[in-house]
Amino acid sequence: MKLLNNYNDYIIDIIIEGIKNDELSLIISNKLIDILNNIDHEISSKLLSNHLNSNKKFKITLLDIDDTDDIKNFDKLIFMQSNKVYDEVNKYVKSVVGGENMNLDDVNNFIIKRHNNIFDVLNKNKATTTIGRIINKLFPNEFPNAGKNNSIESFVDKFKAERTKNMSVFKLVEGDDIIHYYNMDSYDSDSLEGTPLGNSCMRYYKCSKYIEFYVKNNVKLLILMSNNEKDKIIGRAIVWPNVIVNDESNRIFMDRIYTTYSSDINKFKEYAIKNKWLYKTNQNREATDYIFDPITKDANRLTLRVDNIIQTDAYPYLDTIKFLDIKNNTLTNKYSNQLYNLESTQGGYHYKEDSYIYNPNINQIELEYQDDEDDDDDNEDTIWSEVEQQTIDADDARYSDYLQSWASPYYADNYWVYSEMMDDYIPIDDSVETYDDYVTQEYAEINLKYSEYYEKWYKPEDLIWSNKQGWIYKYDVVNVYLDMKKTKSDIRADDNDYTTYTNENGEVEYYDDDMVGDQFIRVKSDLQGRRISLKKEEDKDKYFKWKNDYYLNKLKNEVTGQFKMDI
């Protein structure tokens, strides 16, 4: 499916880039405007400022949303090519009042004046693609793809969160309901496909004993309910009700967010902001990462402490406030080697150099050890899997050095991906795509270079700089002229983002669309409708105009004769 989507996007790119002259003002549907007005983002402002602006023209227009409730389409927009809008408007006007074709300016004025109902009038020749591609086509190289506050990725996450806001149902649960919703049986089926929620280490039935810690300490759980499956969740976050911040104020803190869809993280944050809760800015297991305060609107590294902790027979894995002082019954996110570190996936803790695990047979925590010589029950055909939290068949097991764990073939095939560069299995949800492989984000940031144009990581030696496109793959490039005299040029990716021209010697030349695109004309080269680019002035003796279209001279007799026969 991913390959099919990529191919469809590729075809759409080719179609859009094939449009040379027809550009119209940007028209945005009222449904889309309502969403954009609720999103605080630079891209929202950019789109809205260009809506109905007759001084700005684009190759695509009539932006709209797919108003079905399919969440998989919430990161996509519907659009029309400007040349198709030109054709459809003329067809519509002729069908109503007759007359000759309107010129481009008249069509532009027509759609601006009728922008409220133009989407109903023009209901053919529409296409759908991702928001990221739309933004890159409308405003090339203006917004980074990821990593910054004004990035396309951050806008898409906010857009999806806004679209699903009215569909979202949050519940703040406590007591035994926390145990119920922590168990993977309460997860939406989509959550089990290698998502942060589906991969959480406390999802197993055996962890119910560990989760009792939250129940006894009056901790709450914020859950996001699924719209597709009854009483199933697609997100959760622990909520600590009484947290001492920097040894002063007493606040509510929302801990790490686990979701099925990354866009839902913003919904949890919005819920926290509305209730003035502190929340973790990054969803990780770091104890001292930045924490956002909706009251001060600042993010800082804060010291958190929870007093009057009730100690239990077993403990859950804690992401942030994880260091236990058993003498004073407090939890904190400030590390000390004198405190118990509650980062065990087996119900125990780490203390100094030792690890302790929960033993259900005696209902208490004990020092973890392994006596291979005296263990009569040791089965050489099985091995322990840390990620699956169970023993698995050793013969077919696969090992991840990155995760320091074995896994069954089923688990590895569904939740891991093999990295050729790293020569190791890595988790899918922690992987990024390279030109022909997958690596971890950390590995990529240290060893590779990111191409915003391709939205992938590459080996630095495989990239070359393009003044327009940034870093691009150097083995698949063309030299594009920036002026008609061919005195200036730039390296570009070989992806049809330019005008192709064959000179008198049969040599192919490439010209920048933005620089010199209006000095070329697209001419039909055969009766099947295939076209080539010619220079308007230099090649004007090679083509002719007939019935609002252009043809090579060699087709004159056939074209004019066919039209005469039709008459």
Q: Return d(Cα 252, Cα 273) in angstroms, integer.
A: 11
Q: Is the entire prediction scored with pTM above 0.95?
A: no
Rg (Cα) of the chain, in Å, rounded?
A: 30
Q: Return d(Cα 279, Cα 297) in angstroms, integer.
A: 11
**Cα–Cα separations (whole angstroms), residue 139 to 47, 50, 472:** 10, 11, 19
Answer yes or no: do 391 and 303 share one domain: no
Answer yes or no: do 438 and 517 share one domain: no
Answer yes or no: do 349 and 397 share one domain: no
Among 139, 163, 187, where does a domain finish?
Answer: 163
pLDDT of residue 376: 41
Answer yes or no: do 70 and 178 share one domain: no
Answer yes or no: do 132 and 185 share one domain: no
Residue carrying the six token digits 């942060």: 196
244 has which bridge partners? 250, 305
Answer yes or no: do 427 and 542 share one domain: no
Tell me whether residue 198 is in a domain.
Answer: yes
Answer yes or no: do 16 and 146 share one domain: yes
pLDDT of residue 303: 94
- Bridge pairing between strands 416-419 and 424-427: antiparallel
pLDDT of residue 54: 85
Tell me whether residue 212 is in a domain.
Answer: yes
Tell me whether residue 479 is in a domain.
Answer: no
Closest-CA residue to 183 (of 156, 150, 212): 212
Q: Return d(Cα 167, Cα 152) in angstroms, integer.
A: 23
Answer yes or no: do 390 and 355 share one domain: no
Answer yes or no: do 259 and 279 share one domain: yes
pLDDT of residue 16: 45
Collapsing DSSP to helix, strand or coil, 73 comes out as helix
User: Would you list the DSSP string of 150-184?
Assistant: T-HHHHHHHHHHHHTGGG--EEEE-THHHHHHHSG
Collapsing DSSP to helix, strand or coil, 421 comes out as coil
Residues sharing a CB contact under 8 Å with residue 359, sequence separation 6 or more, in sequence order: 365, 366
Among 163, 186, 220, where does a domain finish?
Answer: 163
Sign of CA dihedral 505, 506, 510, 513: positive
Tell me whether residue 333 is in a domain.
Answer: yes
Q: Return d(Cα 151, Cα 143) in angstroms, integer.
A: 6
User: Could you tell me the residue range of the domain that residue 112 belongs to?
Assistant: 2-163
Q: Return d(Cα 533, Cα 165) in angstroms, integer.
A: 48
pLDDT of residue 3: 41
Tell me whether residue 271 is in a domain.
Answer: yes
Answer yes or no: do 135 and 269 share one domain: no
Answer yes or no: do 133 and 229 share one domain: no
Give the chain's domain count: 4
Q: Tell me the per-residue pLDDT of 479-489, one tens digit each, with 9 for 90 and over.
A: 989 888 889 89
Residues sharing a CB contact under 8 Å with residue 243, sequence separation 6 or more, in sequence order: 250, 251, 252, 253, 278, 304, 305, 306, 321
Tell me whether residue 140 is in a domain.
Answer: yes
Tell me whether residue 490 is in a domain.
Answer: no
Tell me whether residue 374 is in a domain.
Answer: no
Residues of the chain scoring pLDDT < 70: 1-21, 67-71, 96-99, 120, 123-124, 166-168, 193, 369-380, 517, 562-567
- Write b or e for each residue in 118-147: b if 16 or more Cβ atoms lie within 10 A of its Cβ, otherwise e: bbeebeeeebebbbbbbbbbbeeeebbbee
Collapsing DSSP to helix, strand or coil, 563 comes out as helix
Answer yes or no: do 191 and 217 share one domain: yes
Among 303, 335, 367, where does a domain finish?
Answer: 367
